Amino acid sequence: MSNENGYVEPGKSFERDTNYIEDRILADPARGSGTAQGWPVEADRYRLVVARACPWANRATIVRRLLGLESAFSMGICGPTHDQRSWTFDLDPGGRDPVLGYERLQEAFFARDPEYPRGITVPAMVDLPTKAVVTNDFAQMTLDFSTEWTAFHRDGAPDLYPEHLRDEMDDVMKRVYTEINNGVYRCGFAGEQDAYAQAYDRLFTALDWVSERLETRRYLMGDTITEADVRLFTTLARFDAVYHGHFKCNRTKLTEMPVLWGYARDLFQTPGFGDTTDFPQIKRHYYVVHADINPTQVVPVGPDTSVWLTPHHREELGGSPFGDGTPPGPVAAGEEVPESEGAGGSTSY
């Protein structure tokens, strides 16, 4: 077993703990089933807690922005590093989230269960009246943003989970998750050579598969952006900065895979993607937190991120990111990625 704090058990393959709090925020909370409680969709009731460094949380920030849900629920941002206990709000004045009043996200989990036994993960939706976490099930969370929060979507918001594509999308997203999103971790946290070699082969087989799929279509599901693209993007955005070297995913860099590199730049230059991507925080998280992989905790200066702004020519395939809709407006005040930390910004530490 391994975890995202960077512990690697010698002789073992990486297995992700996927036992999340499965409660859901639903337009009709009576639809909650089994052990998963339904909570009501309600404006100003919840706070989304994320960390810009985390690819799973980055999904939630992108989807929230694409759908225009900033007016429905607020967002708290943890710093890029954490210890074994929890993500912390060290970016905020006084080191406390200004809405929740917490120093650590762990406090929201303990407000729900004082003996909460599992990892403290982002993204997490927190109930403001009780200051307790509602769910940290990142995969279901963003689908619910698309399907349950429709009353609060902005005018012109894209349909990120089109009903007529869901069966195919679910298959695509499952493979993207198991082989690519999680595949890079399987490489990075492999505890022995054979496990690493097998993980490496699986990862690049899948990257070749999505590359072939994207040769003739602008986006994974066709002519417009869907959640499948969001899920692939957050791994591609971290590939050269972290996964290629730190996680030994080094057959080729993203910049050496022409189709995927063009696709990734196309998304990055689309509102909602690049403007939620913070390269220094991404690098600081992985190289500092994973101390067993990088004992010195030295953070690389490179790579040059200005290349993310170069022409991609993907528009030649046709299609439009938002279809008949419109791009989101400016990033909400206080949620901007500092100019020095986006593409082309300073890389100094």
Q: What is the pLDDT of residue 349?
A: 39
Quick: pLDDT tens for 254-282.
Answer: 999 999 999 999 999 999 999 999 999 99
What percent of the chain lies above the pLDDT cut of 90? 89
Q: Which amino acid is at 311?
A: P
Distance of alpha carbon 97 from alpha carbon 314, whole angstroms: 40
Q: What is the pLDDT of residue 3?
A: 41
With cut-offs at 50, 70 and 90, classify the pLDDT of residue 18: low
With cut-offs at 50, 70 and 90, classify the pLDDT of residue 34: confident
pLDDT for residue 68 is more than 90: yes
Q: Which of 148, 151, 121 is nearest to 136 (CA)?
A: 121
Distance of alpha carbon 104 from alpha carbon 108, whole angstroms: 8
DSSP state of 220: T
Quick: pLDDT tens for 74-122.
Answer: 999 999 999 888 999 999 999 999 999 999 999 999 999 999 999 999 9
H/E stretch holding 103? none
pLDDT for residue 222 is more than 70: yes
Whether 24-152 and 163-341 share one fold: the answer is: no
Do the beta carbons of residue 248 and residue 196 sit within 8 Å?
A: yes
Residue 329, token pair as written in the block:
């407006």
What percent of the chain lies above the pLDDT cut of 70? 93
Q: What is the pLDDT of residue 58?
A: 98
CATH fold label, 24-152: Glutaredoxin (3.40.30)
Q: What is the pLDDT of residue 342?
A: 86
Domain 163-341 grouped into CATH 1.20.1050.10? yes
Distance of alpha carbon 123 from alpha carbon 321, whole angstroms: 25
Residue 31, token pair as written in the block:
């639809």
Do the beta carbons of residue 235 and residue 267 sit within 8 Å?
A: no
Q: Is 185 a catalytic residue?
A: yes
Average pLDDT of the residues of the chain:
94
Do the beta carbons of residue 96 and residue 102 sit within 8 Å?
A: yes
Specify the residue for token string 């602008």: 218
How wide is the angle at C-alpha 34 spanned by C-alphas 31 and 39, nearest 5°? 45
Do the beta carbons of residue 24 and residue 51 sit within 8 Å?
A: no
Distance of alpha carbon 81 from alpha carbon 217, whole angstroms: 37
Distance of alpha carbon 254 from alpha carbon 54, whole angstroms: 19
With cut-offs at 50, 70 and 90, classify the pLDDT of residue 343: confident
pLDDT for residue 15 is more than 90: no
Q: What is the pLDDT of residue 63?
A: 98
With cut-offs at 50, 70 and 90, classify the pLDDT of residue 151: very high
3-state DSSP call for residue 104? strand
Annotated binding-site residues for glutathione read: 87
Do the beta carbons of residue 43 and residue 72 sit within 8 Å?
A: yes
Beta strands in the chain (DSSP E): 24-26, 38-40, 46-51, 74-78, 124-127, 132-135
pLDDT for residue 284 is more than 60: yes
Strand partners, 46: 127
Catalytic residue among 102, 161, 185, 287: 185
Per-domain residue ranges for the chain? 24-152, 163-341
Higher local confidence (pLDDT), 115 or 10: 115
Q: Is 54 a catalytic residue?
A: yes
Do the beta carbons of residue 127 and residue 45 sit within 8 Å?
A: yes
How wide is the angle at C-alpha 17 spanned by C-alphas 14 and 22, nearest 5°? 155
- What average pLDDT does range 185-203 have in this prediction? 97
CA distances in angstroms from 240 to 174, 325, 337, 338, listed in the order given: 23, 32, 20, 21
